[in-house]
Structure 1
Amino acid sequence: MKKDTDKLFGNLSDEDAERIASRYPVGDKKQRDRIFNEIERRVEGGHTSEDIDVSGVEAYRPRIYLKVISAAAALVLAAGAAVGGGYLLRGRNNNFTAEPSSDVIEETEATAETTAAPTTEEQTTEPGVPTEEQLLELLNSRSYDDYQQLNIGYTMVSENGVSTERGLAKRDMVTGNESMVKKWSHNAEYYKNFSDEDLADWGIDLDNVESIYTSNEMFMYKDLYICVYGSSDKNFIDQYEVTDRKDSVFDTPNVFASPCNFYSEVVLEEINTGKYEIQEISGGATFLGRDCTSARLFCPSVTEYEQKMGRGGVRIFDEEYVDEVQLDILVDNETGLILWFKDTQGEYTEEYSVDTLLFNEDAELPEDGAYIKERLSSCAPNTEETASYDLSILDETPDSENIG
């Protein structure tokens, strides 16, 4: 176990992993062990339909977001607990709901009037409406390197609104610094299967559930990758890890483009590898005040797609599982970015929505060395290696003073 743990968590010991897991409401020890073992299999990329056995954790669904797991996060158990066992095996606007923004015009609502699988129809060629080829070209034209500074904030609502992830990424091409903050929370529905005794042990007040969260704050500062693991649990001391930036998956190739960070990138990869058939394309939509193209896509069989990708298919523990997936998206006509999508699999939905999109002088810069140093002052290093890491670079003159 220790050998496999080292591959996944670096220098994190079994004792530390167990201690961390015990702080988070993911069930009993057997349940946590199942989740831990499944993370190992998925990070190493060797899971198949034969070796996935996580019944008792939560029904596994073959979501497109399975790969959104960070092997670099030494406290990934904490993040996994935050978004729920099922999500693990697979943000900034506090007023966000599980319904599309009111900025999505009526035409978009018309294309999503039913969650049933759409029938295949010949695509129309209305004036101003891109063809399938043009839509794919638009999607693949997006470039995060086109802007000296860029901020993208998003909210991801899963489990039909039970769990919420909010994230904010910042990038500065001038200094090369980047940052990514993720925060996970749940509503009361998430905790319904836990006993009152367990909830009391974890200090969870269901009357104040909106204040319960876990978070990862990731800083790509000069040659460093620093991640702070936070929690609303007053008994948990925030911890941090430090590694060389080149070893971080969050910097490959940048904080936006890596599929480990942005769900829209995962969606685009699935589109490009043939998971979906494009059913409808419509123009004239708006989102965040920006002109968009809306599209509906359909996957007739997730299982067949997984097999085609050489992942051995999937094993389903949910009797109500639906193999078909409908995907509705809004694409920014200027940048090619996916600003909103809703993934529907039977009665199960996940919805992603960009709530912050700022360019150049309108964007906030990533956190500087002084901010990071102050943040670390209230944290404990997660390993001895982290404790001995040279952080003197944080004391150097801010990059903004060295420019020009």
Structure 2
Amino acid sequence: MSDHDVVIVGAGPVGLLLACLLAQEGIDVVVCERRLDVDDRSRAIGIHPPGLQTLDAVGLGERARAQGLQLDGGEVLCDGRTLASLDFPPARRVLILPQDRTDALLRGRLAELSGDALRRGHTVRGIRPDDDRVHLTVAVDDASGPDMVSAQRELTASVVVAADGVRSGIRDSLGIGWRARAGTARYLMIDVPDASGGARAQLHCAPGGLVESFPLPGGRRRWVALDGREERDRSAPAAEMFRDAIRARTGITPDIPDGERPVAFRARQHLAARTVQGRVILLGDAAHEVSPIGGQGMNLGWSDALRVASAIDRMLRGGRADLRGIEGRTRRAASAAQRRSRFYMSMGRPSHGLPLHARNAVIRVLGLAPLRGSAAGLITMRGI
């Protein structure tokens, strides 16, 4: 007999969503999260239609809609000229909601369903799968007193789900390969106050490189720009330097307060060699890293979670331990999302002369009336 039906490692949005799906079916689930504090970074902001369906499945869709901003479309521009303009139909609109708010909704819902499911300060140090259960060695940190106290204990579960991110310790412990896929670049990002309003995004595929501008709830705006500095310069530039780079590419001077610094990050793409090993399942970023350009990663993980929850429920009710049936669908969806992200990234690379004219021609064709609906569907993750 196992201590729990399911142990999820990692309390990011994907791990929390899966926990909610399982808990509402009466499955005994706990979530081990190494952090004692709450991650208040805005991070992922786009909830695509498939992602919103998963939030509906755990009773959070309306709460998310009430807090978020509905993105009704956007423009692709180059040198101040509009190359394409896309409108999302009401059923395919992207909901803009910073990840810290999404996480808070998921934590609140999990607490409603199972008050003690989330275990903070629980770091998984080891994993040992058996035929009928999985053994986990967990370090437990207690920060309630004046000094942090750490103890070690063992948990067992019928199924373990590793939702512990791109640097997954569970994946490494099991010796599962982590294969690089095409699509990598460096970007800079900042969220700042913005009084312009509106519910449309702007993508500037400028000769000097991509600049993205997204409205955020609460009168804020996110700016993302391809980092054109030398590889050796890893520091975040000052506000003035970031403003100058955006102005040079777009002709727009964003209102970035002095003293603010954008966050520098590298977009990469990877796919795990396998996502199921016995009674252990890799989920979300532990299974596949998708470039954030395109905003598909979190939503893809949520779609995976729906399939995983259904498979686990069937296994626990029927006593079957074979979970491999979900692996092929997970890998195919991840590969499709990575191909789309690679295409989006290619449209934002620096370009001049004939390559620039050719790229702009492709964007214009995608914005023509006969293809506009298909292009909008690709952007909003139709078919994934």
Between Structure 1 and Structure 2, the one with more strand by share is 2
The TM-score, its normalising length taken from structure 2, stands at 0.21
